[in-house]
Amino acid sequence: MQPFSYTRVNEANTAITTVAQDAAISFIAGGTDLIGLIKDGVQTPNQVIDINSLPLTAVEFDTEKNIRIGALAKLSDVARYSTVKNSYPVISEAILESASPQLRNMATVGGNLLQRVRCNYFRDTVFPCNRRNPGSGCPAIEGYNRMHAILGTSESCVATHPSDLAVALVALDAVVCIQGKTVQRRVPLNDFYLLPEDTPHRENILEHGELIVAVEVPHVSWFSNSHYLKVRDRANYEFALVSVAIALEVEKNIIKSARLALGGVGTKPWRCQEAEMVLQGKAIDEATFTTAAEAALVGAKPLEYNQFKIELAKRAIIRAVSTAVAREVGE
């Protein structure tokens, strides 16, 4: 492991200015992903800036009751927060399906959204990888690709985005708040992540030195009728083969509005707007759910070992929608 220096800061501008001056300097908060990447030689900072003392841990509501979650809020705290559990259960459920209790006690919201892909070829420096070294190739395309993406892939990369929380937040139209040296900006989380295309080393729109300071989620009454379903190889401490974040507005056996996003199948958290349109205004029945599931997987490009994900995703969508409907109508 390459040696690095460690500095703790108490002020956001100091942290941002320090990191922005050198590409070999990184922020560190919970460190649950970064430390592993450093040990594996995937990331090699010469200095890390500890931002845990910054005042970015609060969970707050504005006058319109939109929720603002500080980037340094611990995942376990957010999952237990009563208003999150009641008004945005899909967020709480997604967090509780993530990692392990020990990691959730350390991991932060901002760090979770920024975790790197879990592709074994990316994390083992013996192999070439376009995310680590652009232009070197993607061995996963012809290699063992059971866990890899079927949506949003390119000839450069087929790795899936690993975050459960990001899938739930994308479904709920969340916005990420970013602070840089001279500007602050608010970006829809769905636009924050980039498709790999020819530049898989650019995973999101952050410029070096920019810092996520918060995530904001709009207050929508029917977001309380939401659900997160995660399908994986084992019950705990495992990444998704397929996951579904769903929120539904139901009235008199009609789905008035829907939000749907998938994890485990896309190179970024995958918002399924075509499936949402299928659900909207339709009667509650299995045929509607099935049609929506089909719409969500249009354009899927499976690889040799992950073709099963298409059918698995469709069935997971039907199950997740059925669960959300049952909750709303009290069945």
Kindly report, residue by residue over 298-310, the tens digit of the pLDDT: 999 999 999 999 9
In a domain, 216, yes or no: no
- What was the pLDDT predicted at 328? 78
In a domain, 203, yes or no: no
In a domain, 72, yes or no: no
Q: Can you list the alpha helix ranges (DSSP code H) found in the chain?
A: 12-20, 34-39, 75-80, 82-87, 89-96, 101-106, 109-114, 120-123, 164-171, 189-192, 273-279, 286-296, 308-329
Domain extent, residue 15, equals: 5-52
Kindly report, residue by residue over 22-33, the tens digit of the pLDDT: 999 999 999 999
Check which CATH number belongs to the domain holding 237 and give it.
3.30.390.50
- What was the pLDDT predicted at 82? 94
Give 10-residue mean pLDDT values along the chain (331 residues).
Answer: 94 97 97 96 97 97 89 98 96 97 98 97 98 98 98 98 98 98 96 98 97 97 97 95 98 96 98 98 96 98 98 98 87 52
Rounded Cα distance between 75 and 33, Å, is 14
Burial of 149: CB neighbours in 10 Å, binned 0-12, 13-18, 19+:
buried
What sign has the CA pseudo-torsion 296, 301, 307, 309?
A: negative
In a domain, 189, yes or no: no
In a domain, 100, yes or no: no
Check which CATH number belongs to the domain holding 24 and give it.
3.30.43.10
- Number of separate domains in the chain: 2
In a domain, 269, yes or no: yes
In a domain, 94, yes or no: no
In a domain, 186, yes or no: no
